[in-house]
Amino acid sequence: MVTKDEIFQALLDLPTGKSPGPDGFNVEFYRFYWEDLGDSLVSAIHYFFDNSHLPASWGRTFVTLVPKVANPSLVSDFRPISLCNVCYKIISKILTNRLKPVLPTLVGREQAGFLSDRGAFDNILAVQEVAHSLEFDRLGPPRMLIKLDIEKAYDSLSWSAILATLTKMNFPDKWVSWISACLCSSSFSILINGVPSPWFSSSRGVRQGDPISSYLFILVAQNFSSMMNFALRNNFIPGFDCNLRLNFNHLLFADDLILITKATRSVARNINLCLSIYSQLTGQYPNHTKSQIFFPSWFNQRVTNSICSILRLPQTSFPLRYLGILISPKKISVHSFKPLIDKIRCLCSRWKNFKLSAAAKSILINSSILSIPTYYLSVYPIPDSVLHEITKLVRDFFWFKGGNGKGIHAVAWCHITDFKSEGGLGFRNLALVKHSLMAKNVFTYLNADNVFWVEIARHKYGRINFWTDLIPPRCSWVFRSICKTASILKPNLWINTFNPIQTSFQFDPWLFDVPIAFKPTFLNVSADFSNPTMSELVVNGHWNFSLLESLFGENLSSIISNLSAIDCSGNNTWVWLPNPSKLKISAAVYHHLNLGINHNESWAGWTKIWRLHVAPRVKHFIWLLLHGRISTTDYLHSINMSPRTLCILCSLELESADHLFHGCYKAQQVWNLLNCILNINISFPDRISSGAWITDYNLSLHSISIIAVSIWLLWKARCAAIFSNIRPNYPLLVRKAIAHVQEFLQGNASLCGRRLLLNNFSHADGLFLFFAFSWNCANKVGHLGYFVSNSTHIINCAGHCCFTAESIFEAAIHALNTAIYNAINRQLNIRRILHCHQLISQLLYNNCEPVIWRFSHAISNINNLLRFVMNPPLVEIPRCWNSPAIALASSGANNHNLNLFLTGRDLPRWIMKTFIDAGFSF
């Protein structure tokens, strides 16, 4: 049975920002109006799952044509993308979510597409090692590598093949009928210049844009994989190497097919037979114009021509492009990366024509430009000269201000690539990205067993100990780069769980961050032993402490906490020793390599800049100011670009950043006005460019944000006076600064508000009651805090108090009862009650049966109160969303009578700060 929660979760799983289907409603619409549409939609979806029937209107699909090339002229130059109705996509997503957990058991290891534990990079590395062996291994039989492209793979897939595959894989008849209904109900209209064509039906193919299409495709492709494995077992199509534990003759990633086998005519005929059978069964035929075949450069040309004739494929020389990556048995030349550089140069040149702020450029650089080489760097290292050229293009784009010049490169690039908490902009340092992304391959090699490229590498080069073994002399250039990365990372590699048989006592880091051979002083020099093994140290899965004591002597007590866990049946588990929590390997390595030497002493102001309630361009201006790189005449004179001139605002002193924003009596007018309006004391005891005002604990984040905007507006006023001869209006400037911060808070609602809207609480929903409580078991005192807000984050009222309770259950019930009762007394139309206590849900929904009977009367009273206000649902939210209510509860420690706050002025400043930080206002 499909539940309402499962349907809603499927809706949340669908990506946003997508074009709607023929009904015109996108995912955001259904999320926003879930409360109004949810029950009707659930009933309709239940009808589908009960009757395996889909309304014809739900199956309607627009097909939009996306160009594959710059100047498309043929139909084949377009890629058809399906725009399905969201109602249908929810059903498809439910089926997909149910299929995903069992998919790895249905699909062989040869397939790597759309499976959570497999990826494209594993296939790419395996093909890279295959290409190296194909060219340089002359001891075994000659091999060939075939890259096959399936013609119109999604569009040509036979429906009967899909349904037969599901039946053969023992899917229930109900499942098969659901898939059949989804396929047969589809009808299409092609959007031509935005105008839909007449509707027509199809008899084959799956829709690109349908969540389940990719999974149906790989299930059908498993038929071909099974056929190839049968041919492998019977030596009809031999695999890459019969000595491999995981031998294989093909690799699949969606519709990209690689065949690796012996280069003989008989094998070519068997491949033709398999492809012919598969094509007739599924309707998928090879595209001979896009497919390629590769042989060793030393292979017999007559046999080569014969095989190419049998397979009807052209012979091609390396490099091979597979999944967007160049594959070659030899190191790829710098010239081969010219298209990559040209692509980035084209992007930068095009975006230079737009008037983009530094903040906008930062987003484009991190999200678009630097992500292009990242894909390559995940597989093999790009030459340093290429990375340097890419960095130069990005650097020039970032500092470009217009005209023919390159702009002033005010801050060194090495500082810009620092983390924001250390004074940088967080741009990726490609030299470090190269090592951090390769680190993932290092750990895959050390820990994985069921990955093809790891199996090939261990077969060719053995298990490499990066501490003691040299790089294999005739290894592939990609594996050589993996070894070089490992040599950089090895001081932080450690065996967390070890198998005694696989681990060396002296030369593996199972105890310290280096092998014991590099720390011999920890061994007991008087002990009589000769090269002990880990198998001697572990007996029946437990440490042999008598032998440990004889080996380490008095040092044993200090190192006993370092002992790794034992796993006699599994493999060694290598970990990254300084791995911060919640960071994956590549991110953790990059974080470690990019940290400054004195990162523990980083100035707190750098982090605070990016938390200001101001527009991104203001944050970047303040960042530049604190680096001392604002283009005042003082700074331009220091780099020989301008003579020193008087301040344009006062004409009394030479212009500098500190004078312009602080020393100038015109700037003092601004600060005096702000002092009066905000009732604060703005002072700059140190130079304004030192940034001490940002970390001033006497100023709230709101006040600091207004100061930052005022500095930015002063700079704009200075520029307007110089270039447009417009005299500044300082009272107007102050009003603009305050309005800027207020508009920012309104336009960038809190995480709480964004999440509430995301979960479809509409503006017409009425009021939200947020409450939180705490209870001290020592003095039996509980604390309550609550506030009522509308969906635009305007506070109606807030309150707090303390009370006595004998248990946390009693405290929870009393707190909820008090919050609801006071909301009713104020005649507030509460539509939702939001809290962060799992205990509340357990009590009200009878999940605390051992204690529920003691409080049944009190719970009954709460239910009566809820019915009185039309049963508003109780929604459990994360604590961070409920921070104002938690702050109110903690401040009500000595107030046994309820304190009610109707305006923000009555609240303590630190609590008001919590409301402002969360995006609420009175």
All residues at 6 or more sequence positions from 356 whose CB lies less than 8 Å from its CB, including other chains: 364
Torsion of CA 621, 624, 629, 630, to 10 degrees: 10
Q: List the strands of the sheet with 250-253, edge to edge.
A: 250-253, 256-262, 143-149, 292-294
At 218 the pLDDT is: 93
Alpha helices in 241-291 (DSSP H): 265-282
Query: Is residue 602 packed enough to be buried (19+ CB in 10 Å), middle (13-18) or exposed (0-12)?
Result: middle
How far apart (Å, rounded) are the C-alpha atoms in residues 457 and 459?
Answer: 5
> pLDDT at position 722, please?
92
pLDDT score recorded for residue 465: 87
Structure tokens at 389: 């050229």
Instruction: In whole angstroms, give the CA distance from residue 493 to residue 491.
Output: 6
Torsion of the alpha carbons at 820, 822, 824 and 830, rounded to the nearest 10: -50
Contact, 571 vs 537, CB < 8 A? no
CATH match of 752-917 with 3.30.420.10:
yes
pLDDT of residue 750: 46
pLDDT score recorded for residue 896: 67
User: Looking at residue 843, what is its pLDDT?
Assistant: 74
Q: What is the pairing mode between strands 573-576 and 493-498?
A: antiparallel
The residue among 347, 346, 426, 336 whose CA lies nearest residue 386 is 336
Which residue has 């043929």 as its token pair? Answer: 74
DSSP percent split of the chain into helix, strand, coil, nearest 5:
50, 15, 35
pTM of the model: 0.76
For the chain (length 922 residues), average pLDDT per consecutive 10? 88 87 89 86 93 90 87 83 92 94 91 84 93 89 92 90 94 94 92 87 88 93 94 92 86 91 94 94 90 93 94 91 91 91 92 87 91 90 93 93 77 91 91 92 89 90 87 91 91 84 84 79 65 80 81 75 77 78 78 70 86 92 92 90 89 90 90 89 82 85 92 93 90 92 71 44 65 85 89 82 85 88 84 83 60 65 81 79 86 71 77 79 76
- pLDDT score for 851: 46
Domains of the chain, residue spans: 4-282, 334-428, 435-591, 604-747, 752-917
- Rounded distance between C-alpha atoms, residue 60 and residue 668, angstroms: 66
